Amino acid sequence: MRLDTKNWPHSAIGGNGAAVAGTIANYDSKVRVFIAHSDAIVSAGLAALLGAEGDMLVAQGEAMALPQPVQADVIVLDHKGALEYMRRCANAPQHGGAQARVLIVTQMEREWEVRTAMMAGVHGYLLQNCSPDQVPAAVRSLSRGIRYLSADLSRCVADSFTRIGLTSRETDVLQLLAQGQCNKSIARELGIGVGTVKTHVKGLFDKLGATARTHAVVLATRRGLVGDGAISQH
């Protein structure tokens, strides 16, 4: 069953109007999904896919038009729209009640893109080429308060967090590497021996999965460990 937002009870899309008690009861047993994906074709496909599920009610709209708070259980957005929505939520006055869970459906699959979204507070992340059964499975998981990532993305993020457990000294060395400094300069700057610097550099290579100094800086920049300007210095 597919619904436009105008067919939801006013309270179900963030309004303050009262709804008939019987109408609300009909909606309480369903997972309310609001799709606000920027790609119209993807949005229509998701609406058709989820609208065919007997336990879901689907509405579509634009991300920038989402009210605060949204009285849906799950909101489906693209990567950019989800990050913007999470920023707006963080800056908006807090309201009582549970907040809608956010599911990203996107083609963006690089490690730092997934990490950025999850660290922003997004609850689920799917690639557009995922199997159709993963979409309703993700929505149901999110509606129950369980995060959802596809298996490949889960391994990617887990490996990433495992590798990037930098010590404070490794972080110091990384920042100086990003400035283009040699081992002797880094040793002088930090007041440690050149051999110790080499040990820290090797540790950085292992944790970042890098094969050279420039490669380490590029990977660290992509993962947000150093500023974007670092790459242009090399």
The answer to which of 24-28, 92-96, 138-142, 210-214 has the lowest mean pLDDT is 24-28
Find out if CATH 1.10.10.10 is the number for domain 164-233: yes
pLDDT greater at residue 224 or residue 191: 191
Mean pLDDT value of segment 43-71: 86
Phi, psi angles (nearest 5°) of residue 37: -75, 140
* Model pLDDT, residue 1: 32
| Residue 65 binned pLDDT confidence (cut-offs 50, 70, 90) | low
DSSP state of 93: P
CATH hierarchy code of domain 5-161: 3.40.50.2300
Mean pLDDT value of segment 116-123: 87
Residue 6 has pLDDT above 60, yes or no: no
> Which pLDDT tens digit goes with each residue over 213-229?
999 998 888 776 775 54
Would you list the domain boundaries of the chain?
A: 5-161, 164-233
Q: For a pLDDT cut of 70, what percent of the chain falls above it?
A: 75
The vertex-50 CA angle with 48 and 54, nearest 5°, equals 115
Residue 82 has pLDDT above 60, yes or no: yes
> Which pLDDT tens digit goes with each residue over 11-49?
333 333 333 333 333 456 899 999 999 999 999 999 999
| Residue 114 binned pLDDT confidence (cut-offs 50, 70, 90) | confident
| Alpha-carbon span 196 to 201, nearest angstrom | 9
pLDDT greater at residue 53 or residue 228: 53
Run of H or E including 156: helix 151-163
pLDDT greater at residue 182 or residue 112: 182
Q: For a pLDDT cut of 90, what percent of the chain falls above it?
A: 48
| Alpha-carbon span 166 to 152, nearest angstrom | 24
Instruction: Please state the pTM of the whole predicted model.
Output: 0.61
